[in-house]
Structure formats: structure tokens, C-alpha cells
Amino acid sequence: MSDCVKYLLDEQDLPRYWYNIAADLPQPLPAVLHPGTQQPIGPEDLAPLFPMAVIEQEVSTEREIEIPQPVRDLYRQWRPAPLYRARRLEQALDTPAHIYYKYEGVSPTGSHKPNTAVAQAFYAREEGVKRLTTETGAGQWGSSLALAGAFFDLDIEVFMVKVSFQQKPYRRAYMESFGAACIASPSELTQAGRSILAEHPDSTGSLGIAISEAVERAVQRDDTKYALGSVLNHVLLHQTVIGLETHKQMELAGEAPDILIGCTGGGSNFAGIAFPFIGAKLRGGSGPRIIAVEPSNCPTLTKGCYAYDFGDTAHLTPLVKMHTLGSTFVPPGFHAGGLRYHGMAPLISHLAQLGELEARSYGQLECFAAGIEFAKAEGILPAPEANHAVKAAIDEALYCREAGVQRTILFNLCGHGNFDMQAYQDYAAGNLQDQQYDEVELAMALSGLPSVA
């Protein structure tokens, strides 16, 4: 058994700037459109929803954006995060490949989400906001914003997808411990929630519905804004701290990745590790093959349309161009709750169109098997979402063995699975299936895409 190989950075190596890939795009992102007029929106249209500093980041094309000192000070609690070489996994797979993983499970909530939660809470606080509303699927994002709210003395209101609210009572207790309010969605608190309940009293909810409720609550009060945990440009920007650190750590290791892998729900952890590497390539350098991995029953990049769509079910959000399964699509229940979103980040969708990344999908059973194989070798049980990246990394390493080639594989281990024991228990008991999404429902959701002139 070989030693643990770990690459740590000093505190002074914690990045001072986030990296904004918009500065290096060969073609700009398609405009965000107003849902009524279908005209490009301006910052003032978003002002009821987000703090102005966040809106400026959303549309910025400056390459480097300074990380405010209070945010860096909070980052220092868990950052720089370690990069590991998975030597024991390499041995178990008997592969010539070198496998590295960046570990974001060292944050207080056990995932990458606090990287943007503390930044968003900071900007809200600076602008005198008293309350933030948000949605959460599996509970990771709600937990991270609850934590950030406690740091910056903000009231946090979390609409949690009802099926998760019922399945994961510990998540709610976690959020409430930090002083947040956690409401099962659809709820009676909003018009969006009430109209869904009137039609479907037994609705188990979806991220799209929970977003509608959180947005509706935010626009009703002047002291309240909305926070989103993925998808938007500013969220992806905040997560680039992951890839910026990893870039330095790979230099410490004396290697450059040939293959870079991340799992994609809305795309933020993937963008976080990948964008600094893609950016170097866009500026004329060389770079790794980039692989985005998604669940086969919510296959946004591999089966969705690249089209203008809403971010939510009640159609309160602006229209963004992205890979989408249709805003009314509700994926079957599966355990990587963080990956159950109908759309993909516009920046990632755009880069996929430009040929800068490839996408693939896996079923949940093969991902759990990969996660357990990883855990036995490396000692960390991954979050069910992260298992998708683990599975792709193992597949690439096995390919190296079969083909007799050496490759350096890097992936983002975006969170640990210590809050997801129900999922592992269900897997071990044989109670999980690879349930296919409903083709008819997907076709219907896609045919309902808004027509944009």
C-alpha cells in the first residue's frame, strides 16, 4: 500500500481573484431575454432579484474579479482545499494512468457550494439586504446558504423540494440550526405554489417549482433578494477558486492533466474546476480533454435542446439560451438530487456548442458502484452527485489499462456523501433502479419550449 500523496497550498496561495471566462470567449454569450418582450434585458431588470454587485459580475467581461477580503477570510477556514493523487485507486485498478482529485468536501457543509454562498451573502449584506430566499433540491445549497446567512447576519428562507424535505429530515434540522427557515415546496406561501397544489395536491415538487416560489417571495419585498446556487455566470465565477488552486497544485505535482472531469447538475462545480484550464486553451495554450458527466435520467447536455428557455416552472425568470429538457420536465426521482435540474449553465452550454467540452451520461447504479470502489481505496465516500465524476475517471483509467497508454486524469470530488447515508443504504439493500425518464414527457416538455423570434 503506497503513501497518501497530497498537494497542499499555503494560505497566501489562496487566489485573490476569481477567473471570468467571459473575457476569453471567441464569441460572446447569447443575450438574456425579457420573458414578455423577448428583448435583451439590462441590469435594472435584474435589480429586484439580485444585489447590484452580483448583477455586475453576471454581465462582466473583465478577466479577473477581485475576491473581497471578508470572503477570502471565510474561505481560509477550508481553503486552499487539498489535491490528492489517488495512488491506492490506481493500484486497485492496475492502471498506468495517474489519477488526481481535488477535494471540496473539506468545506463546513461538505461540498463546493459555500464558495459562492459566502460571496453572495457578503454582497447582499453590503447592499443592506435583510433576507435572502432560495430553493434547494437535495439540501446542499440550502445548507450552504444557511451557513453563509449566519456569518453575515441575514435571514434565509429555503424552499426545499417536497420529496427531499420528506426524505431528508436531517437536512432541514441542519439549516434550522443555522437559523434558516426551511419550507416544503410547493407551499401555500406563494401564488406559484398554490396554483401547483390546486392542480396537483400530491405534487412532490421540483427544483423548477421551488425556484418559482423563491423568486416570487424575493420580488415581493424590498429588503429581500434571491440567491441561486448554480447555473448563473456569477455562481460559476465564484467557483473558479477551485480550478485556480488546482492549476497551482498540478504544477506542484509536476504534471498537467490530459483529461479533466466534473459532474454537472447546473454546472457550477464543473465550471469551477474546468474554466481556468479551458481559459488557458482559449488564450492559445494547450489544455486537457474536458468531460462533463451527467445522470442518464436527467441528460441535459447529451439529450436536451440548445434553446431559449425559462429557469423555472412558473416562468417568472428571464429567458436564457442553454441546453434544456424543457422547464416543465420533471426527472424521475434518483439519489443524486443535486443533478436533477432541467437546464445547464448558459456558459457551459455555449462552450459545448463551441466544441470546448464533451458530455456523457451514466445510470445511478454504475455510479454508486464506482463511488464505493473509490471509497474503499481512498477512504472518502463521495456524494452521490460526485460519483458521476468518479465513474468517468475510473472508466478513463481502465481505458488506459486496456490500451496500454499513460494519461493524467484529474477530477473534481465536489463533496462527500456523509449526509447521504439513505442513498447508500438503499443502494446496498438493492432498492435502487436505473429508472428511465419518460420519453413522452420529455418530448412534451421540449415541444413546450418558448418560441423566440
Binding site for ligand PLP (CB under 6 A): 111, 113, 140-141, 230, 263-270, 338-339, 383, 385-386, 414-415
Strand 224-226 relative to strand 305-310, pairing:
unpaired
Ramachandran angles phi, psi of 181, nearest 5°: -95, 135
**Closest CB to ligand PLP among residues 214, 263:** 263
Q: How far is the CB of 123 from ligand PLP (least distance, A)?
A: 19
Q: Which residues of 297-313 are buried (b: 16+ CB within 10 A; e: fewer)?
A: bbbbbebbebbbbbbbb
Nearer of residues 230 and 349 to ligand PLP, judged by Cβ: 230
387: Cβ contacts below 8 Å, ≥ 6 apart: 263, 336, 367, 368, 370, 371, 374, 417
The distance of closest approach from Cβ of residue 83 to ligand PLP in the complex, given in angstroms and rounded to an integer, is 17
Which residues have CB under 8 Å from 198's CB, separation 6+? none
Give the C-alpha separation, 78 to 109, whole Å.
10
Question: Which of 228/316 has CB closer to ligand PLP?
Answer: 228
Q: What is the Cα–Cα distance from 85 to 242, expressed in whole angstroms? A: 16
Helix (H, G, I), strand (E, B) or coil at 109: coil
Instruction: Answer whether 227's CB lies under 8 Å from 135's CB.
Output: no
CB 146 within 8 A of CB 171: no
Residue owning grid cell 482529485: 101
CB of 148 to ligand PLP, least distance (A): 14
Q: Which is nearer to ligand PLP, 161 or 386 (CB)?
A: 386
Residue 98 or 238: which CB sits closer to ligand PLP? 238
Q: How far is the CB of 42 from ligand PLP (least distance, A)?
A: 26
Pick 61 or 418: Cβ nearer ligand PLP? 418
- Least separation in angstroms between residue 141's CB and ligand PLP is 6
State the Cα–Cα distance between residues 270 and 265, nearest whole angstrom: 9
Q: Of the two residues 253 and 298, which places its CB atom closer to ligand PLP in the complex?
A: 298
Q: How far is the CB of 273 from ligand PLP (least distance, A)?
A: 10
Supply the minimum distance, in Å, between the C-beta of residue 337 and ligand PLP.
8
Nearest to 30 by CA among 382, 405, 353, 402: 353
| Alpha-helical regions (H) of 268-417 | 268-282, 300-303, 346-353, 364-378, 386-403
Of the pair 308, 341, the CB lying nearest ligand PLP is at 341
Tell me the β-bridge partners of 330. none
> Which lies closer to ligand PLP via its Cβ, residue 95 or residue 240?
240
CB of 58 to ligand PLP, least distance (A): 16
Separation of alpha carbons 320 and 40, rounded Å: 10
From the list 339, 244, 360, 340, the residue with the least C-alpha distance to 291 is: 360
Minimum distance from CB of 266 to ligand PLP (Å)?
4
Nearest approach in angstroms of CB 298 to ligand PLP is 11
3-state DSSP assignment of residue 443: helix
The DSSP-derived string for 25-81 is: -SSPPPPPB-TTT-SBP-HHHHTTTS-HHHHHHHH---SEEEPPHHHHHHHTTT-SP
Nearer to ligand PLP, 154 or 348 (CB): 348
> Looking at beta carbons only, is 352 or 400 nearer to ligand PLP?
352
Cβ 352 to ligand PLP shortest distance, Å: 14
